[in-house]
Amino acid sequence: MWSANPWQAPSGSILSSSSSFSSSFHQTSHSVDIMLQIFPLLISAHLFPFVAFAIDRDVCYQNIINDVNSTILDPNNRAIFYSPALADPTIPLSLTLPGCYNLCGSWTWYSYEEFASRATTWLLPILLMVGNMHSPPLEWTYFLFPLLHLVGDPIDTILSLLHTLQARRCHMKWAETQTFSNSYLSGLLPKDLATVISAIDTLNAGFKPDGISSLFSFPFSREVIVTAAQSLRSATVDESIRTSLAMLTYLASVISAFYEAATDTSAGQTRPGNRVAFAMLFSWLIPAMLLSTVAKRFCETDSCTLPLQHLVDSVIVKLTIETTSDSNRQHAQPTSNFEFSTENPSLGYQNGESSNGVFVLQYILSNHQNGPDPTTGTVYTFRPRKPLLRDSDGTLKPLCLLALALLPVLISFGTAVALSYNTPTKGFGCRFITHLSITLAWLLSFITTTLLERQCVTALSPHIRLKIVAAKDALIGLSALTMVTLIYAGLYNSCWCWSNGLNGAVSHDLFVLVGVDSALQGNAKDAYPTIVGVCLGIQLLHLVVMMTDRWIGKVRILFQMKDRRAKRRRGMVPVEMIAYRSQRSGEMR
């Protein structure tokens, strides 16, 4: 039978604390816990020495069992126990939230040793992956921008990498078409021409190759392109080995933690669920890093600009010589001492063709005379002027790329929620709220970045917009990492965060499970590895999809059938389609 007075123990047994203390503690503990949840960043590190040896969940469970066995606590006390307490180590205790506050305390940090173990196992691999992100060297004012943009806006980072890779695919197809149809480029390897075009796109994201097509209409075009392509390829940095090692370190941490939790039954070693959940929240780093590896980079901006400048100079010199020897040449001839206008010439953003490719390329190079300009696309993880929904041809491909960029973050969020929810006590609690808040912050960050790239903010200079993006990324990214660090240090080591959280609050059925090591050990053997394995498998499969040109081409064909039929009726077959058909039939060989 339940006792009439909920705090009254059986005859001859009393609680160790006085009833007045219990009452006052019950009135204040809930408000203290709420303040700690609302203002977590205000908790100073100097509190560690005072709470490092405070009571924890394992000690609390053992003390309650001892008190029940010694009849100090009534196992049927409804104010303390949500369900009757059983002295069976395989069955957890269900405590009411006030009972948990009274017997276990409100909140404590973890010990130094436990925090160091968590940080080394889970936080350090995340930071290693962030630090191994590929980025070109920038001046000190923008040195940290690629890393801040990665952790503060992962969606735009992945989308920028996808657009960069897609642009290079288009450059390759355009080069195949040019080498097939342009007699001056006969015998030129398409990859040489595509290398030059991709290098120009690195300096000016969104560049259309038709804007400099006049550079490839001279008898000497093949020679200067081959020379420039060889110089560009020799200056390209491939750091795939370093990136792969960082990714393997991350995966090894996850696997070793599962193995340790599944084989070690000691207290505190069977609870990897919540720790893995926050590591999985950043699992989108795996496809992002591998995409950056495929994108590669130049060791410095001069490695890209010098070969292109040499190409322009070679064209000018050869044109000057030919102009002197043959005054009847039909091509437009710049002289050796020509000067170009500082006004922006046609860069081919709207598929328009410039009257002189030399002027266009010189203008692009002039923007990087004093070092790389991150506002033009030199940072692969921040590509300005990328279409959001439709490109200039009215196709749906940018929308497909947007969906591909969103999926890694959404997969990471879903995995983190699944792990946290299935960690006893089951429910949507503190960790779910944190997962949701960080993910929503990333979505808001992407929306902000997208709006800053739109025409509605053209009154702001590109550098001011970039600084706004950097400040926003620093705020969101560093806040997310700081929050995860505090959680690993014990920010959520409280009765409320042990409970079934929102589920219990909504249904007025709030309770806390303690002594759940057997259930957690079972999850560590079966449930958690399954959830994480499915997550990583989907992320890697999604990466393969993002990097597969054939799949993207099929998707594009699917969405462009009507548009292509209309163009064929008008006698306008898209250049990409010509290259695609030619590649499929082997005509270019």
Two structure tokens written together for 178:
């040019």
Contact 194, 425 (CB under 8 A): no
List the beta bridge partners of residue 93: 514
Report for 170-184, 253-267, 456-470, 476-490: range of highest mean pLDDT? 476-490
- Look-up: residue for tokens 């080498």? 179
Q: Report the phi/psi class of residue 523: left, alpha or beta, with left for phi > 0 and alpha for psi in -120 to 50.
A: alpha
> pLDDT (tens digit, 9 = 90+) per residue, 117-141?
888 888 888 888 888 777 666 666 6
**Pick the residue with more confidence: 97 or 21?**
97
Tell me which of 69-78, 288-297, 506-515, 572-581 is least confident: 572-581
Residue 433: pLDDT band by 50, 70, 90 thresholds? very high
- Segment holding 513, helix H or strand E: strand 512-514
**Pick the residue with more confidence: 215 or 402?**
402
- Report the C-alpha gap between 488 and 210 in whole angstroms: 53
Contact 576, 397 (CB under 8 A): no
Q: What is the pLDDT of residue 349?
A: 36
Q: What is the pLDDT of residue 336?
A: 38
Tell me which of 131-145, 395-409, 522-536 is least confident: 131-145
Q: What is the pLDDT of residue 322?
A: 63
Q: Give yes or no for residue 32 having a pLDDT over 50.
A: no
- Report the C-alpha gap between 196 and 361 in whole angstroms: 11
Q: What is the pLDDT of residue 215?
A: 80
Q: What is the pLDDT of residue 75?
A: 87
Question: Pairing relation of β-strands 93-95 and 236-237?
Answer: unpaired
Q: What is the pLDDT of residue 370?
A: 73
Mean pLDDT confidence for 420-438: 90
Q: Give yes or no for residue 3 having a pLDDT over 50.
A: no
Q: Please state, for a pLDDT cut of 70, what percent of the chain lies above it.
A: 69
**Pick the residue with more confidence: 106 or 192?**
192
Residue 530: pLDDT band by 50, 70, 90 thresholds? confident
558-581 burial code (b ≥16 CB/10 A, e <16): eebeeebeeeeeeeeeebbbbbbe
Q: Give yes or no for residue 29 having a pLDDT over 70.
A: no
Q: Give yes or no for residue 574 having a pLDDT over 80.
A: no
Tell me which of 267-276, 411-420, 560-569 is least confident: 560-569
Residue 374: pLDDT band by 50, 70, 90 thresholds? confident
Measured in whole angstroms, how far is the alpha carbon of residue 380 from the centre of its chain?
Answer: 14
Domain boundaries, the chain: 549-589
**Pick the residue with more confidence: 214 or 228?**
228
Report for 176-190, 510-524, 547-561, 564-578: range of highest mean pLDDT? 176-190
Tell me which of 56-65, 342-351, 387-396, 467-476 is least confident: 342-351
Q: What is the pLDDT of residue 65?
A: 86
Give 13-16's long-range contacts (Cβ < 8 A, gap of 24+): 13/71, 13/72, 13/73, 13/74, 14/72, 15/72, 15/73, 16/67, 16/72
Q: Give yes or no for residue 555 having a pLDDT over 50.
A: no
Can you point out the beta strands (E) in 74-135?
93-95
**Pick the residue with more confidence: 500 or 325?**
500
Q: Give yes or no for residue 218 having a pLDDT over 70.
A: yes
At 213, the amino acid letter reads: S
Contact 530, 280 (CB under 8 A): no
Give 99-104's long-range contacts (Cβ < 8 A, gap of 24+): 100/495, 100/498, 100/499, 100/512, 100/514, 101/25, 101/26, 101/29, 101/30, 101/33, 101/495, 102/17, 102/22, 102/25, 102/26, 102/29, 103/60, 103/63, 103/64, 104/55, 104/57, 104/60, 104/495, 104/514
Mean pLDDT confidence for 293-310: 76
Q: Give yes or no for residue 408 having a pLDDT over 70.
A: yes
> pLDDT (tens digit, 9 = 90+) per residue, 472-529?
999 999 999 999 999 999 899 888 888 888 888 887 788 888 876 666 667 777 788 8
Q: What's the mean pLDDT when you consider all of the chain? A: 74
Report for 156-170, 447-461, 561-575: range of highest mean pLDDT? 156-170
Mean pLDDT confidence for 438-447: 97
Contact 304, 369 (CB under 8 A): no
**Pick the residue with more confidence: 234 or 51?**
234
Q: Give yes or no for residue 10 having a pLDDT over 70.
A: no
Q: What is the pLDDT of residue 395?
A: 46
Q: What is the pLDDT of residue 377?
A: 79
Measure Cα distances from 439 to 211, 340, 541 in Å: 40, 48, 22
At 23, the amino acid letter reads: S
Q: Give yes or no for residue 275 having a pLDDT over 70.
A: yes
**Pick the residue with more confidence: 560 or 145?**
145
Q: What is the pLDDT of residue 517?
A: 64
Q: What is the pLDDT of residue 39?
A: 37
Q: Give yes or no for residue 412 having a pLDDT over 90.
A: yes
Mean pLDDT confidence for 330-349: 42
Residue 261: pLDDT band by 50, 70, 90 thresholds? low
- Report the C-alpha gap between 418 and 427 in whole angstroms: 10
- Report the C-alpha gap between 309 and 153 in whole angstroms: 34
